[in-house]
Structure 1
Amino acid sequence: MLKSIIFDMDGVLVNSEPVHYRAYLMALERWEKSLTYDEYKKYVGTTNIVIIEGLIEKFNLPIDAEAFNEIMKGYKAFLYQRDGYPPVDGVTEMLRSLKNAGYSMAVASSSPYENILLATEALGIQEYFNQLISGEGVPNPKPAPDVFLKAAAALGTRPEECLVVEDSCHGVCAAKNAGMPSIGFVNPDSGDQDLSCATRLTKNLREVDADYVKAVYDSFRPVRDGSLQI
């Protein structure tokens, strides 16, 4: 039986990928480098450190990942302070509907915990969540299932009692690897993501109500061969 719903944050609750992309462009200007959005989108759904390590290798940058990450924190903070946190349309209505239906809910994001805390507070949606889980504290990033399994444990539910809402290829594959059905949210600002691992796709979060998530959950057939989706 479905008991808990786990949400990615960036691109599902907060329309943050364009903000993050601008921050990376600002950082790369230090070395007169640039990145197209098509190049950036392949990193969507992974942790900041994975993205940064990829950029350092791609451009042979004379900086370590920790120092680059500190620069990025500053640029992101500046952009969010200046422009605010852009919500994805329909988020509050969706969360209110699912909370009223009795589901426990968690955020399970690759972002740092402090970013999750700030974003959910700024959008006024923190009250809907029982747990806020960061992928920075797990051994393996998405598409490994670690962050979703950690969220399920924190909620006190088994993986097979959970459903995930995600917008990235890495995210829906992580859900499948965790043995959880997922709703793949088609967010144009997240790039052209391969969401084929998702149980069902939606372009409108307003339709994700109690009946919708139950139908998705009931239609899910978990992977039985132990293979990892990547």
Structure 2
Amino acid sequence: MINTVIFDMDGVIVDTEPIHYYAYHQHFKELNIDVPDELYGTFTGYSTINTYQKIVAHFQLPHDPAELVNRKRDLFNDAFDTKPDLELIEGAFDLIKSLHASGFQLLLASSSAKVTIKRVFDRFALHPYFSHIVSGEDFPQSKPHPAIFLDAVAKSGAPKSSCIIIEDSTNGIKAANAAAVFCVGYKSPHSLNQNYDTADLVINHFSELNAEKIRALRF
């Protein structure tokens, strides 16, 4: 029986993607590089450091990826703090509260940096609902590598058969598949050009899930 739900954050709980997009592209302008949306879309689900490692290699930039991460983070934080209309994904908070009240253990496994996760969790008072937060900055490889999800499962103390992962990106779904954990693909309107073919269940809105349905899920 499923009793543990592992959430991605960007595009699943909160729509920070437009802010990330803005911050990245402001930085790309500073670096004088053109990153088309087709290339940018392949980075969905990557940690920031892995994204810049790819950028540096692709454009043969003479920069330390870690320094680029810091600049992008500053741009993101400035935009985040000045965006008054940032909201949680429709239905996400209701599902989180309902599952928590029904005795589910909830974890976050996000490629975002810890400082970004903390900003989101502080702004929307999400801390009481999650037993553990796992950040992609702690792992050398990003999704689709399964390390972040394997660590989340280990921290939960639950067997894989009792866990599900909710993801919105191709790379996140591949990571869940590689971790051999049931994956719910959330077809977010904010996450474009993603492939949900290998998700075990695909939903378009969080109203399609509840505690009873989740407990009954099986591979």
Query: How does the TM-score come out when normalised to structure 2?
Result: 0.93
Contact 1:21–1:37 under 8 Å retained in 2: no
Residue in structure 1 matched with residue 168 of structure 2 by the alignment: 167
Letter in 2 for 1:132: I
Residue in structure 1 matched with residue 37 of structure 2 by the alignment: 37
RMSD: 1.5
Instruction: Provide the rounded CA distance (Å) in 1 between the counterparts of 2:137 and 2:6.
Output: 17
Name structure 2 gaps, 5 residues minimum. none
Contact 2:47–2:111 under 8 Å retained in 1: yes
In structure 2, the CA distance between the partners of 1:185 and 1:59, relative to structure 1 (3 Å rule), is: same
Residue in structure 2 matched with residue 225 of structure 1 by the alignment: none
Structure 1 segment 72-221 matched on structure 2, within 5 A:
72-84=72-84, 85-215=86-216, 217-218=217-218, 220=219
Shift of 1:134: 0.8
Letter in 2 for 1:180: V
Shift of 1:207: 2.2
Letter in 2 for 1:182: C
Shift of 1:142: 1.3
Letter in 1 for 2:160: P
Contact 2:47–2:112 under 8 Å retained in 1: yes
Instruction: Provide the rounded CA distance (Å) in 2 between the counterparts of 1:134 and 1:208.
Output: 25
Percent same amino acid among aligned pairs? 28
Residue in structure 2 matched with residue 67 of structure 1 by the alignment: 67
Query: How does the TM-score come out when normalised to structure 1?
Result: 0.89
Instruction: Provide the rounded CA distance (Å) in 1 between the counterparts of 2:79 and 2:154.
Output: 34
Instruction: Provide the rounded CA distance (Å) in 2 between the counterparts of 1:67 and 1:140.
Output: 18
Shift of 1:34: 2.9
Instruction: Provide the rounded CA distance (Å) in 1 between the counterparts of 2:106 and 2:183.
Output: 14
Instruction: Provide the rounded CA distance (Å) in 1 between the counterparts of 2:74 and 2:140.
Output: 26
Shift of 1:139: 4.3
Deviates more, 1:119-128 or 1:133-142: 133-142
Deviates more, 1:19-28 or 1:133-142: 133-142
Instruction: Provide the rounded CA distance (Å) in 1 between the counterparts of 2:119 and 2:152.
Output: 19
Contact 2:3–2:215 under 8 Å retained in 1: no
Letter in 2 for 1:199: D
Instruction: Provide the rounded CA distance (Å) in 2 between the counterparts of 1:9 and 1:182.
Output: 15
CA deviation map 1:109-165 (0-9, x unaligned): 111122112211212222111111112213432112211111111121122211000
Q: Which runs of 4+ in 1 moved over 3 A?
A: none
1:188 partner SS: coil
Does residue 46 in structure 1 map to residue 46 in structure 2? Answer: yes
Contact 2:132–2:155 under 8 Å retained in 1: yes
Shift of 1:43: 0.7
Instruction: Provide the rounded CA distance (Å) in 1 between the counterparts of 2:90 and 2:214.
Output: 18
Aligned residues: 218
1:189 partner SS: coil
Name structure 1 gaps, 5 residues minimum. 221-230
Contact 1:38–1:191 under 8 Å retained in 2: no
2:190 partner SS: helix
Contact 1:48–1:69 under 8 Å retained in 2: yes
Instruction: Provide the rounded CA distance (Å) in 1 between the counterparts of 2:175 and 2:18.
Output: 23
